[in-house]
Amino acid sequence: MMKKQSRFTAEFNMQPIKRLLEGGHELSELANELGLSTGQLSTWRKEQLAAGSVETLWLRHELKWLEEENLILRKAAVFLCEGSRDEACLRIGRARQP
C-alpha cells in the first residue's frame, strides 16, 4: 500500500506546533484559525514531541561525550606542559588556578 502524500510541508507543520508549545493558544482555536482539524493538529504535535524527545536524548549523549573528551584533552595539555615556559602552557596553568 502506498503512503498518502501530505499536502503540507514539514516547515508548515512545525509553525503551529511551536505556537502551541509556546503557549497562548488553545489547540481548537489554532486549528480553526489555520483551517485544520483538531485531530490533525494533535497528531502533528505528538509527532513533533516524539521527534524532540529522541533529539534531546541524542544531544544529551553527545554533550556528555564531548565533556569527557574535553576533560581528557585538558589533562593531556597539563601533563604535556608540565615544567614548560611556553606562553600557551603558561595560559593553561593560569586557567587551572582558582
pLDDT digits (tens, 9 = 90+) for 39-60: 988 888 888 888 776 677 778 8
Q: How far apart are CA 38 and CA 91, in angstroms?
A: 59
pLDDT value for 41: 87
35 Rama sector, left if φ>0, alpha if ψ -120 to 50, beta otherwise = left
Three cell numbers written together for 29: 482555536
Give how far the C-alpha of residue 34 lies from the chain's centroid of Cα atoms, to the nearest Å.
Answer: 27
Q: How far apart are CA 32 and CA 58, in angstroms?
A: 35
Which has more pLDDT, 62 or 48?
A: 62
Q: Are 29 and 20 in contact (CB under 8 A)?
A: no
CA dihedral of 30, 36, 39, 43, whole degrees rounded to 10: -80
Q: Are 78 and 92 in contact (CB under 8 A)?
A: yes
Per-domain residue ranges for the chain?
A: 10-96
pLDDT value for 6: 60
pTM above 0.85, yes or no: no
Q: Is the confidence at residue 72, as pLDDT, over 80? A: yes
